[in-house]
Amino acid sequence: MNELVSTEATETFIKGHREQVKNGFLKIADFSIAVRTGETSLLIVTVYKDQETCDSNKDQRMHWFKEHDHLMKDDFYYEGEVETLLNGSDSKQIALELLREF
């Protein structure tokens, strides 16, 4: 979760997130989404295949956030296992075990 210093800083942060998903450290993620929860706040959810993949870019992630620290008022994150993933309008559950096999 990020609280940014201004709407301009929010736009810059979103642009940077998109660039990292496309060409940077987040390209190894299964997916990463940024949800604007307010004018200057974002909720970013990134999912990796496994903990090893997640850990493999931790230094790059921390470096990127340090470089963008001037854009943020507040930043915090949680790490954990995905327990449920719903897909589609009829909310079919996808078994996490099946996802990990790919």
Complete domains list, the chain, with CATH: 2-101 (3.30.70)
pLDDT digits (tens, 9 = 90+) for 18-56: 999 999 999 999 999 999 999 999 999 999 999 999 999
What pLDDT is attached to residue 89? 56
Q: What is the pTM of this model?
A: 0.80
Average predicted confidence (pLDDT) for the chain:
87
C-alpha distances in angstroms, 66 versus 41, 61, 80, 93?
18, 9, 22, 37
